[in-house]
Structure 1
Amino acid sequence: MSHKIYSLLQATFAELNTQPIPVDDEFHTFDEWINEDQKLLHYIELKEYSDNGIEDNFYFEKYNVDTDQLQNEIEIAVQECFEQFQEDDDISFEEQMDVMERTEEIIFDAIKKVAEQHQLSLLVVYRENPYWMLVPTQDEQQLIQIVDAFNEAFNDDGDLNMAIY
């Protein structure tokens, strides 16, 4: 029953009202739909953390956010994190995972800080490499409804899980 997520997002994003709702229940179709006219949902390649969608986010463009400055702040924080592990040649898998998790936190903390200045909320789709989107509301109930509808529609196999960040 993925149609609930589409109607909730159309009610939340005026930009999506003119787009017909897809007929299939695949996440890649959802991704194409939500990004059809504006870049709203972004993929982060954690190993290439600067490839994170910040520079082409619809709301960051709309509010003239200095995305270069935001990327620089992320770069500095991530490099500090990496430097802690570069001294050790024998990095365990757990330590590598800790670095990836910390990188994710740095990126999302930076995005959330800017988003809140513009009354936007950050939603994250967790998987091996996460997705994120800004939502033009800070209404907790509305955000919970979006998250629940997304998880109901796309979390059948357990590898896609949206949460409020």
Structure 2
Amino acid sequence: MDDKKIFKILQDWFPILAQQGIPKKKHRQNFQQFLTWILAESEKGSHLMSVVFKSPLDNQLQRCAVLKTLKLNFEDIQQRIEDRVMPLNAHYEKHKDTIGKYYNINDQIFDLVFEEIDTVLKHHNFELLLIYADATYWMAVPNQDVKIHKFCKSFSKQFKNEGICIEHYTKSDCLRST
């Protein structure tokens, strides 16, 4: 297996990552080493952001290097997310006694957060990748289907022993009851 593939693709998408070099072979199969490599701070922002399950509104939009490069207004994007979450929270609060123990509102909030981020990214010809590990991580990558497919396939192989999953985000077609 070419365990350099994911690093090379990321360096192609984000040339600033080429300055770091690719991790040594013994570290390439370790997800924590991958995190250390990709999260190396830059004044231009990060290429991997995390969202903690218990507080999905803390989505690190303002750290995203791609969104910074596009010079988008993070407050407007965050406000749109919060505006979409407000009716969901109100519905949950109203019916909490009935549905409280059977319903995880954070799952729905996660969906809304990622839908809004995905909408913004698609408008600028980028795609959203989600990585499920100790937290949920998101990444904005150029809209290059073949390269995205190769990256996701290689990433899955590389970190399957650690139970780390990746997906190319697609908007849910399920109906919402809010």
User: Would you say same fold, with TM above 0.5?
Assistant: yes
| Pairing of 1:105-144 with structure 2 (within 5 A) | 105-127=111-133, 129-135=135-141, 137-144=142-149
Q: Distance in 1 between matches of 2:148 and 2:14?
A: 12
Which of 150, 154, 161 lines up with 1:149 in the alignment? 154
1:30 aligns with 2:34: yes
Match of 1:58 in 2: 65
Q: CA deviation at 1:9?
A: 1.4
Q: Distance in 1 between matches of 2:134 and 2:66?
A: 25
1:102 aligns with 2:108: yes
Structure 2 portions without partners, runs of 5+? 170-178
Q: Distance in 2 between matches of 1:31 and 1:128?
A: 11
Indicate if the aligned counterparts of 2:56 and 2:106 stay in contact, CA closer than 8 A: no
- Say which one has the larger Rg: 2
Secondary structure at 2:167's aligned position in 1?
Answer: strand
Indicate if the aligned counterparts of 1:35 and 1:41 stay in contact, CA closer than 8 A: yes
Secondary structure at 2:20's aligned position in 1?
Answer: coil
Match of 1:73 in 2: 80
Q: Deviations over 1:96-126 (max 9, x none)?
A: 1xx2221111111111111112211111113
Aligned Cα root-mean-square deviation (Å): 1.7
Q: Relative contact order: is structure 1 or structure 2 higher (C-alpha 8 Å, sep ≥ 6)?
A: 1
In the alignment, residue 97 of structure 2 is paired with which amino acid?
D
In the alignment, residue 28 of structure 1 is paired with which amino acid?
Q
Match of 1:3 in 2: 4
Structure 1 portions without partners, runs of 5+? none
Q: Distance in 2 between matches of 1:47 and 1:76?
A: 19
Q: CA deviation at 1:17?
A: 1.5
TM score, norm. by length of structure 2 = 0.82
- Count of aligned pairs: 160
Q: Distance in 1 between matches of 2:152 and 2:46?
A: 19
